[in-house]
Amino acid sequence: MPDAASPAGRVVLFDNGLVQRIGHHAHFAFGLARLLARDSRPFIALASQSMEPQLATDPLAPRPVFGLYLNEIIAKGDPVERVWNDHQIGSRRYAADLQRSGFEPLETDLLWMPTARAREIAGLAAWLKKRKARPRIMLGFHSLLRPIEPGTVSGLLHRMAGRALDDAIGHDRVLAYATNKPLAMLLTSAMGLPVHAAPLPHFYSELRRDEALPELPAGDGPLVGCLGMQREDKRFADLPGLLSRARALRPDLRFLVQVGVHELDPSFLSLEADPHIRLIRGYLEDRTFCALVRACDLLLLPYRAARYVSRISGPFVFGAVYGTPSIVPARTWMAERIAAGRAAGLVYDGDDPMLIETLAHGADDLTNLHGKAAKLQRMWRSWDGRALLKVALRWSAGRSLEELRRDASEA
């Protein structure tokens, strides 16, 4: 049975990565749900069948629809066959999940896929092609799983997904956006659809001056944060060695390190013997994460540069919002923001000794860096999930995208 129509038009979130109560997916879903509830706008969230019970709370209350998890690899074979077969099998499963859900789109709906992949886009297109309604579609891109340059299998699959969606509802009913201009340009070329640089899908907590914090490291030296998800492209496994060498050069430095809840390598456990290093385990609630970012004097982001040419860094952005400068590698989106004068921080270009030397220089220049960061906070805070939702609703109501094009230079 179709869901009841609404004059305002429904916003429907399609997110097969929405599983946990905390993390990037829940952060955006709950932030969006709260804003729409405040305006009495109809909202539906379609999430993973494996979602945690804690997600089933107002105002989100998602429906468990998708058996296929975002980024789940389901095919076998050599690299080319595996990517191709995964796309073909996965897109059919995604369409079948939607078919079984009983959800029916309306012409006035805005269907929003906040983390879009070619496989899921193709599945959405196949499902929509069998429906009478032509709802509007929002596709959000944050990063790429694989290269999509001309001649790549993944590039071809993105072009096929773009054409399938165009065939199902028409390109005029699709708004694709990315978190930065380099990524938007890559995707525009690959998909054959315009992809715009757009406001970031983040919501920032209003913190009290005396916001409660977990226990911080001992001492009163500069506090350096290593926060965020623990991934290989962030060189998480290298942190114990980096921190030990940094402390040997600058014994006054203190470190706050976010780690997973899983069993840690002994090198991390040895860090806990140092009272100037504090490990924070597991995901953090949004408010706690924001408060810790604000409490730090610097953020250390020793990422693999090649992965961040067309990818933003969440900790870097939150640092910019709360006035905390970052130490980042050259030839990344973060370094470009600093070079353009749109963010505060220092860029290192070289090996780990250069990274540690740059960190020490930042610790000596905190007054200057914090002053720069404070002047830029308002700009970053305004380029947020609220601004993104404003663009979405304007476009969904049939209004021009001129606002998005005009402000894209900030991305």
Do both 92 and 182 map to the same domain? yes
Asked whether residue 209 is domain-assigned, the answer is: no
pLDDT bracket for residue 258 (50, 70, 90): very high
pLDDT tops 90 at residue 269: no
The confidence score (pLDDT) of residue 4 equals 41
Quote the longest CA-to-CA distance of the chain: 67
% the chain with pLDDT above 90: 80
| 348 & 401 share domain | no
375 and 400 part of one domain: no
Based on the fold, state whether residues 376 and 400 are members of the same structural domain.
no
Element (H, E) at 192: none
Average pLDDT of the chain is: 92
Beta carbons of 292 and 284 less than 8 angstroms apart: yes
Query: What are the pLDDT digits (tens) for 154-173?
Result: 999 999 999 999 999 999 99
Q: Are 82 and 73 in contact (CB under 8 A)?
A: yes
* 256 and 199 inside one domain: no
Q: Give the Cα separation of 321 and 386 in Å (integer).
A: 14
Same-domain check for residues 142 and 159: yes
> pTM, whole model, 2 decimals?
0.91
Residue 237 pLDDT exceeds 70: yes
Residues 129 and 272 in one domain: no
Report the alpha-carbon angle 310-312-317, nearest 5. 155
CA distances from 286 to 28, 203, 204, 254, 263 (A): 11, 9, 8, 23, 24
pLDDT, mean of residues 27-45: 95
Number of domains in the chain: 2
Please report, for the domain that includes residue 405, its CATH number. Answer: 3.40.50.2000
The C-alpha atoms of residue 258 and residue 187 are separated, in whole angstroms, by: 32
105-128, pLDDT tens digit by residue?
A: 999 999 999 999 999 999 999 999
Distance separating alpha carbons of residues 184 and 140, to the nearest angstrom = 10
Residue 308 structural domain? 223-382
Instruction: Please report which confidence band the pLDDT of residue 405 belongs to, taking 50, 70 and 90 as the band edges.
Output: low
Lowest mean pLDDT among 3-12, 16-25, 133-142: 3-12
pLDDT at 6: 43
Q: Are strands 11-14 and 110-113 parallel, antiparallel or unpaired?
A: parallel
Both tokens assigned to 284: 């953090």
Say which amino acid occupies 81: E
How does residue 91 score in pLDDT terms, banded at 50, 70 and 90?
very high
Please indicate, yes or no, whether residues 258 and 375 belong to a single structural domain of this protein: yes
pLDDT band for position 153 (cuts 50, 70, 90): very high
* Residue 212 falls inside a structural domain: no
Position 411 pLDDT exceeds 80: no
| Per-residue CA distances from 42 to 29, 48, 103, 389 (Å) | 14, 20, 14, 14
Across 21-33, b (16+ Cβ under 10 Å) vs e yields bbebbbbbbbbbb
The predicted structure's pLDDT at residue 3:
42
Kindly list the distances between the CA atom of residue 180 and the CA atoms of 59, 191, 263, 290, in Å, as whole numbers in the listed order: 29, 16, 35, 22
**pLDDT tens, residue by residue, 323-332:** 999 999 999 9
Q: Does the pLDDT at position 51 exceed 70?
A: yes
Q: What is the pLDDT of residue 254?
A: 97
The SS3 assignment for 7 reads: coil
Instruction: Decide: helix, strand or coil at residue 376.
Output: helix
CA distance 124 to 65: 13
Tens digits of residue pLDDT in 278-314: 999 888 888 999 999 999 999 999 999 999 999 999 9
- In Å, what is the CA distance from 351 to each residue of 6, 241, 357, 376? 57, 13, 10, 29
Between 31 and 80, name the one with better pLDDT: 31
Terminal-to-terminal C-alpha distance of the chain: 41
Query: Tokens in use for 49?
Result: 């069948």
Average confidence (pLDDT) over 195-210? 93
pLDDT tops 50 at residue 177: yes
**Has residue 92 got a pLDDT over 60?**
yes
69 shares its domain with 44 = yes
Q: Is pLDDT above 50 for 28?
A: yes
The answer to whether residues 274 and 361 belong to one domain is: yes
Q: In the chain, what percentage of residues exceed pLDDT 70?
A: 96
pLDDT of residue 1: 33
Q: How many Cα atoms within 13 Å fall on the side-chain side of residue 363? A: 22
Distance CA 281, CA 214 (A): 11
One domain for residues 194 and 252:
no
Helix residue ranges, H only, 44-178? 79-101, 118-128, 153-169
Q: Domain check: are 197 and 227 in the same one? A: no
